[in-house]
Structure 1
Amino acid sequence: MKIAGIKAAVPSRTVTNRHIEDMVCEHSPELDERALRDALRRIGFFLTYSGSKARRWLADGETPFGLLSQAVGEAIADAQLRRAEIDLIVYTGVDRGFLEPAMAYLIGASLGMPQAHCFDIVDACMSWTRAAFIVSSLLSSGAYRNALIVNCEFNMRADGRVNPRCFRLEQVDAVEWNLAAYTLGEAASATVLVRDDAQPWEFHFGSEAQYSDLCSVPLDAWTAYCEPQPRLGCNGPNHFHSFASEMFRVGKPHAIEVFNRLSVPHESLKAIFPHAASMQAWWEMGTKLGVQDKIQFIYPDLGNIVSASVPVALARARDTGTVREGDRIAGWVGSAGMSFASFASQL
């Protein structure tokens, strides 16, 4: 399998850490002055320690579909294909406009690929990597020739699953399960993958489902679909929560283990593309493996862009010449679930 084209589009509004703190102040009138100071101190420390500086959110007049349409057009042109030659579309990620039908059908209908086969993959921040794994198998089987993986991660709109509920603190302790929300950015990506049996990808995955309560977006009536846990539904139905600090603590050993499964020698890798959840956490893990200088960080400027993290970072690296055709690269992802993955390929 070969990446024939990959492009990203990010919105134009820059949101700094100071803006995040201002939003918490605006939406948390229940906190008295002392409690608010304590909350802001915790938030400021976490953002600074994690390496966060800014993130991009939609500006007035910008839409998820508009940015995705831009990314898709550029990626298909980059691949030197016609839209009619795309025979599979996979939509991935958390943010979406439809539960039914699959978002991929709306993309195919709207962007001139109505005959492409379509389905969605929902696996939190792992979604793009999981989709690449499945597409690699489908392409190698001969079932498809040219596949398009797309995602929109625009979770910060005013009526969304994050904003403003995660900014409305009613107690200081609520900071613990809302810290990850303050790191989120927005982006769209489009990846064109074509069959190339001479360039197989190597994938490794691991799951630790006992930590599934650490990060979730429960839907209405969620308690009827699981064994309820105390940490599930901290912000109520349809709203995001994440115990980020605990996820990093329990996840680091698993992430290191799954990266070490790669058969590719670490020194042969030109670049490593991680899930952009924290610069500090990935730097620490990379240092343990001696690969920290190969990691491509977009987190400080774009924030945590969920399932778009790897494709956006890869698109930027290709556009700037940081990686070129023939370079060997790796992906490294940790996600809610919890799940962990590594992959390696040659561009």
Structure 2
Amino acid sequence: MNTFELGDFPLTSGDTLPGARLAYQTFGELNQARDNVVVFPTFLGAPAEVLNGWIGENRALDPRTHFIVLPGHFGLPPSSAPSNTPSRPFPAVTVADDVIAQQRLLEEVFGVREIRLALGWSIGAIQVYEWALRFGDLVRGIAPIAGAPTPPPWTKLWLKTVVEEPITADPNYAGGAYTSAASVSGGLARVAHGSALTAPPRTFYYAGADVWRTLGFDSVDAFVEGFWEGFWLPQDPNDVVTQARKARSAWPGAEGESLREVLGRIKAKTTIAAFTGDALFPPDELRQYAEWIPGATFRQIDSVYGHLATFGLAEPDVKAIDDVIRHALES
């Protein structure tokens, strides 16, 4: 993992993030024309390396032909986050701040002035929309998958009630001044349990289907503990709260603009994909976004995993997502 030192970074709020840093990984080589760049930001609670499995020879993201950059975002270590930043309190950051920092990384470190594709899912997709609207002259194509330019109302509620409030309501959280992250493990466990209930579709748990067994678990409880607690319990509580609040407040347009007006300004060639059973970013809502973006393409992927399909847990999902990425790169 590499680190880009941003110095004292001015935030869109007018505040400053002191000694800011952005973690990132790269795969492949930048070509002479510097036009083979794919930016692939990550999602809530997931460091860049969780995306490594989508990159490889003969895959849609082939490092032999593309220069693939996996940038982190603020609130998620090892990028600047409450858990690794001495200043207290950690300033409120936005998705716009993330993308501005990512653009500086590409320009100042690699001299990139054109992006072939900005790709991402969930909160990564929120960053992708920000890329298209803030740096529209740089971005040729975008592929937001299972994500939106701003979280739909249900998803904002999910970020607050499933992710943020179980942590902040934990008595050991102490307003963010807890003695150790482990002392707030009860709150993090409740985030895990709420995620297990709401992120997969209900059909994931249907008796007889038992989709969770395909992941190697012999009971629902084992799935919740091994998959969801395994994901959330190692996280720092303040880091998670920062990311959830940042995602919930995301808005890529001007004050007073409608979402339809905002999306109508996107110039990049757009490929949107959604998964059946995804309650966080349902296909019907994402299909509407595609209708508002000039020339956009919409693809619905049938999956028993819902929002979890972004983890690439089943070969059909992997193939379908690779096909979406390949289409976006060839458009």
With the shorter chain as reference, the TM-score category is 0.3 to 0.5
Which is strand-richer, 1 or 2?
1
Normalising by structure 1, report the TM-score.
0.32
- Structure with the bigger RCO (C-alpha within 8 Å, sep 6+) is 1
Normalising by structure 2, report the TM-score.
0.33
